[in-house]
Homo-oligomer: A and B are copies of this chain.
């Protein structure tokens, strides 16, 4: 029976709050805080048991410290913006509270994804006897756990890893992004990196593509190689991995829109003079596009996110594919968010349960693959994200 503080009232914060409220046996008191308290109140109003709400600027350590002291939580679940990871970690250190997030720190002014800043907190968390669990979403998060499960149970040696994220859903709009369009477009247009023979290899954005035949009726979709942050911790903690790649589906329609918007300059992030005003084109584009929150009730279809681990078992070459299927409409019925927010929010709550129950608890800063994957997955399934393991089989080399 623990008090928890959730920071961030976007789509993921909404799912986390709903799912914590479903487990009152663990989360006896729940506070949801964000820069805009009215967003917290709107989420609280969807839930039949009491949710406390609060206003906080997560960029400001003293404000965070005051709020944490006032509430006295056992754990802070950070589902705010990635720019705010370090200030929240600082506040947890100062108040002696455990920390969990779903995405690694990223400086505001560069689209640079790496764990160095957060791993640098290792000694300070250890000394204080506190735990920080990093990247407890789906990808990163459950994909790390799936990889750890492959290494523990299905393979003796994991040599190659393909993490594959498919959104086979449709919102029926000509063009819209599932989360903040500015961040979405910046990620997709960034230089790709994958791990090969002990080093990162760069390639042009979206330059590597395959058709992949997804299970459970989803069928073939085009997947594109991207950089994604869980690869950095996985190749560190599972050093037998010689090659790691991350793949995501994009429809031809999505890519067509992206190409045109780049061609005409609408994805530019610099200021353009326009009738005496300074306009950043991508921010104006964001103002024209549908609010991602408005897509929830419109989205149909499924997501399929998982990993194919390739290696050896008992001296034989072997592959295992571990994945989850999640249905957009079922998510919306349950927590008023589609599967993109659901698949991130639910693993955050499961990570919190692991920490609060002591099943995953140690002083220091940790990534998901460093703990027993089976304990996590035992809870994840009943919470709404069941795991499918296809043990053995042949999937095309990507």
Give the interface of A toward B (CB within 8 A): 174-175, 256-257, 260-261, 263-266, 268, 272-275, 277, 279, 281, 283-285, 287-289
Q: Which of A264, A265, A279 has the most CB of B within 10 A?
A: A264
21 pairs, CB–CB < 8 Å, chain A vs chain B? A174-B264, A175-B260, A256-B256, A256-B260, A257-B263, A260-B260, A261-B264, A264-B266, A264-B288, A264-B289, A265-B288, A266-B266, A266-B285, A272-B288, A273-B287, A274-B287, A277-B279, A279-B279, A279-B284, A281-B284, A284-B284
A257 to B261, CA, bound (A): 8
Smallest CB gap from A276: residue in B:
B277
Bound: A266/B264 CA distance, A: 10
For A175, give its contact among B256, B264, B273, B289 (CB under 8 Å): B264
**Distance of A154 from chain B, by nearest CB (Å):** 44
Complex formed: what's the CA distance from A289 to B260 in Å?
12
Kindly identify which residue among B257, B277, B281, B288 contacts A288, using a CB–CB cutoff of 8 Å. B281
Whether A288 contacts B263 in the complex (CB less than 8 A), given A277-B277, A279-B274, comes out as no
Task: Name the B residues within 8 Å of A275 (CB-CB).
Answer: 283
Asked if A175 and B263 sit within 8 Å, CB to CB, the answer is yes
A299 to B343 Cα, complex, angstroms: 50
**Nearest CB on B from A269, distance (A):** 13
| Docked CA distance A287–B263 (Å) | 14
CB-defined contacts of A266 to chain B, threshold 8 Å = 264, 266, 285, 288
Q: Are B285 and A264 in contact (CB under 8 A)?
A: yes
Docked pose: A265 CA to B175 CA in angstroms = 10
Nearest residue (CB) in B for A262 is B174
Q: Tell me the smallest distance from the CB of A282 to a CB of chain B, in Å.
A: 12
- Cα A204 to Cα B260 with chains together (Å): 23
Separation of A274 and B272 alpha carbons in the complex (Å): 14
Cα distance, A263 to B277, chains bound together (Å): 25
Residues of B close to A279: CB separation below 8 A: 274, 277, 279, 284
The reply to whether B272 and A174 form a contact with Cβ atoms under 8 Å apart is no
Residues of B within 8 A of A261 (CB): 260, 264
Bound: A66/B289 CA distance, A: 50
Q: How far is the CB of A396 from chain B (nearest CB, A)?
A: 31
Find chain B residues with CB under 8 A from A175 CB. 260, 263-264
Nearest-neighbor residue (CB-CB) of A289 within chain B = B264
Q: How far is the CA of A174 from the CA of B283 in the complex (A)?
A: 22
CA distance A283 to B273 in the complex (A): 12
- Cross-interface CB contact of A257 among B264, B268, B285, cutoff 8 Å: B264
Residues of the B chain whose Cβ atoms lie less than 8 Å from the Cβ of A273: 287
Additional A-B contacts beyond A174-B263, A175-B260, A279-B279 (8; CB < 8 A): A257-B263, A260-B261, A264-B266, A264-B285, A272-B287, A274-B283, A275-B283, A281-B288
- Chain B residues, Cβ within 8 Å of A277: 277, 279
For residue A264, give the distance in angstroms from its CB to the closest CB of chain B.
6
List the 10 closest A-B pairs by CB distance, nearest first.
A174-B263, A260-B260, A265-B288, A257-B260, A274-B287, A175-B263, A175-B264, A277-B277, A264-B288, A274-B284
B contact residues around A274 at 8 Å (CB): 279, 283-284, 287
Min CB distance A326 to B, Å, is 27
